[in-house]
Structure 1
């Protein structure tokens, strides 16, 4: 008769296989779902200008998308808290499908309010893409959380890099269907989000800790505030997102104003996106082996380097701008991987889904603040002006003592 210890050992290989299958499912669903990201980030601005005939409207759909992403985070976190992590992600993608359909109708009818409403709901699917990293941590053991995040972020890179390249082909498909070409990326989003939702909906059971009742939002927030490591992790995530979104709001405008073609702008932004996601397996490994605090501080250092380079882009060519945005992308990756992994160890498993929702809302609010602020600052002080604002935040992250 086996002892209890021997039985536990014999179940480990099966548990490991189950974890790997769950992580593989998340990675595939995220790779597919992230191919819908360019709909809101690329086509939204162009479609708003086309409908409103005013360039000032270009950033409004993205702003609504960011707000939708922040609003969707608590909903997905609540699903995770009651033991429905994967179903929550599937629901987020399904809401994104509805949003994309609404925008297609807005393009067909040239209706700006519909475009803005659809952009908001599209943001919920974006929230599902990025909150998949927390689901990945549920598949990991204590020493492999960084690796799990790295796998999902690498999958995100595949879809996020491919997504903008669909602008031309999807436009041709939309035109053949009698729709405006700019509706094409939203048709791609319908397919991507829909397939990701269907794939995740096939998974039965729960992922992560079993739900335990009695954890209200106020109690969770009060407990989180008392935990220095948790507060620091949320701060790292929000500050990193603030700097990155602020720069990337004005970078494409700066490039086009200085005579760079749309093709050049797309290539430079693609390198930036590669830095954001493709290095995640390496940063995840570093977080597991050296600790998340070190990776987060590395992110702060790289953010500071990127901001200093940004001070000189006014008088430089495309090469300096490319290096600036590539370093910025890697810095964002370090901050998010380090901050997310730190958050996973800073709070109890039972309350972690709620805290993850708080962190995502803070990242969304930081992004929603940085976008308009950077545009305003750049209007009066030029591109380097926002880099001057971002530099102290980056240096603070690097110098701050981050709990392990």
Structure 2
């Protein structure tokens, strides 16, 4: 949390001074803090019985949805505050991030303080679920398990498509005359699709299995990418495309995260879950500059077509283990 607050502050100062180097450095700090937040879903999954892990993951995503949906709507008001402080308009959301991360850091510090025993005990329960791996099955062996391979691939693929779409969407919409308020509203709808259905998706993963949920997410992403290829601005088709893109990400990440908690022994889960976050981050790092380099006139359509191809390949790759060895693969002992 401290790194997130520091990163947001660095970005604001960099924007005021016009320093791209410091802006990139602040963005790295923000990304690091964001990774720690997303890892909380695995802690929730480990704190409940095995048959409820999907629902626990979903509830964490639902809690995330509140801030994720509100933040794009703050694009306009926060921009007004930033201009009032003599800062560029887009610094507004970084001011919000500074306040959010800073407040979370203070809350976490209070939870771990002996002066707040109730919260301190709650934090201790969460920490007790994360233990280093000792002996038994090696990390490399766990990563080669078919279920782990599918889960990590699905996490990377879902984030690749979602980040690619959302990197270029604000530019695409602005190029077609959409204002910051419209852009913020459409992004908010996309984020609702990303997080709000998570409890239901988690329940589906618990009841019907994680692999079918991941496959469903791939199909939804495929439809979203097709619609995105024909998007021409803030239209009903664009809105549907963005909502479905968020929903496909939700199915993919919730399903793959649930599968990952089932694929490896408990003592190795923190290590593999961290690798899962790294694969998601790597996918984002790869796709963002690729999308930025696309020509502005037809770049959005090209991105949609490329995403269709990638999603179709992922669907074909996931379909084989979904009907083959994954459901019957013996779970390694915990």
Say if 1:300 and 1:396, in contact at 8 Å, map to a contact too: no
Is 1:326 the counterpart of 2:266? The answer is no
Matched with 1:282 is 200
Identify the residue that residue 263 of structure 1 maps to in structure 2.
Answer: 181
* Pair 1:238-2:159 in alignment: no
For residues 199 and 170 of structure 2, what CA distance do their matches in structure 1 show? 28
Q: Structure 1 unaligned runs (5+)?
A: 1-92
Output one character per residue of 1:187-218: Cα deviation in whole Å (capped at 9) or x when no partner: 322221122223234134242535245469x9
| TM-score, length basis structure 1 | 0.70
Residues 146 and 312 (structure 1), Cα distance of their counterparts in 2 relative to 1, 3 Å cut: same
Alpha-carbon distance in structure 2 between the residues aligned to 1:169 and 1:385? 33
Number of the residue aligned with 1:121: 29
**Does 2:68 match 1:160?**
yes
Work out the CA distance in 1 between the residues paired with 2:297 and 2:138.
44
**Cα gap change, 1:303 to 1:231, in 2 (>3 Å):** same
Alpha-carbon offset, residue 290 of structure 1: 1.1
Match of 1:145 in 2: 53
Q: 1:318 to 1:215 in 2, by over 3 A?
A: farther
Matched, 1:209 2:126: no
1:303 Cα deviation (Å)? 0.9
- After the TM superposition, which residues 223-234 of structure 1 pair with which residues of structure 2 at under 5 Å, given as runs? 223-234=141-152
Q: CA deviation at 1:398?
A: 3.1
- TM-score, structure 2 normalization: 0.84
Query: How many angstroms does 1:174 deviate by?
Result: 4.7
CA distance in 2, matches of 1:205, 1:362: 29
Distance in 1 between residues matched to 2:184 and 2:132, nearest whole Å: 47
Q: Partner of 1:393: helix, strand, or coil?
A: helix
Instruction: Report the CA distance between 1:317 and its aligned residue.
Output: 6.2
The alpha carbon displacement at 1:178 in A equals 6.0
Residue 223 of structure 2 is aligned with which of 272, 284, 305?
A: 305
Whether 1:356 aligns to 2:267 is: no
Deviation at 1:391, TM superposition (A): 1.6
Q: Which residue of 1 aligns with 2:38?
A: 130
Cα distance change on mapping 1:256 and 1:224 into 2, 3 Å? same
How many residues in Structure 1 have an aligned counterpart in Structure 2? 309
Query: Conserved in 1, the CA contact under 8 Å of 2:165 and 2:303?
Result: yes
Residue 397 (1) aligns with residue 314 (2): yes
Q: 1:155 to 1:109 in 2, by over 3 A?
A: same
Structure 2 equivalent of residue 41 of structure 1:
none
Report SS of the residue matched to 2:50. Answer: coil
Distance of aligned partners of 1:291 and 1:179 in 2 relative to their CA distance in 1, 3 Å threshold: same
CA distance in 1, matches of 2:143, 2:312: 23
CA pair 398-366 structure 1, distance change in 2 beyond 3 A:
same
Q: 1:278 to 1:226 in 2, by over 3 A?
A: same
CA distance in 2, matches of 1:179, 1:256: 21
Alignment RMSD: 2.5
Provide the rounded CA distance (Å) in 1 between the counterparts of 2:81 and 2:169: 30
Partner Cα separation in structure 2 for residue 186 and residue 379 of structure 1:
26
Change (3 A) 1:386 1:110: closer
Query: 1:142 Cα shift?
Result: 0.3
Q: Is the 8 A contact 1:224 1:231 kept in 2?
A: no
How far has the Cα of 1:386 moved from its partner? 1.9
Once the two structures are superposed, what CA deviation does each residue of 1:252-275 show, in whole Å capped at 9, x if it has no partner? 222222233332222211111110
Superposed CA deviations along residues 211-263 of structure 1, whole A, max 9, x for unmatched, are 245469x941x113320100110000101111111122222222222233332
Aligned-residue offset at 1:341: 0.3
- In 2, the alpha carbon distance for the partners of 1:131 and 1:179 equals 33
What is the correspondence of 1:96-111 to structure 2 with a 5 Å cutoff?
96-111=4-19
Contact 2:195 2:250 in 1 (8 A): yes
Q: Name the SS of the counterpart of 2:10 in structure 1.
A: helix
Q: Distance in 2 between matches of 1:265 and 1:322?
A: 11
Task: Give 2:262's match in structure 1, choosing from 303, 322, 345.
Answer: 345
Q: Give the Cα separation in 2 of the matches to 1:309 and 1:178.
A: 40
Which of 264, 272, 288 aligns to 1:371? It is 288
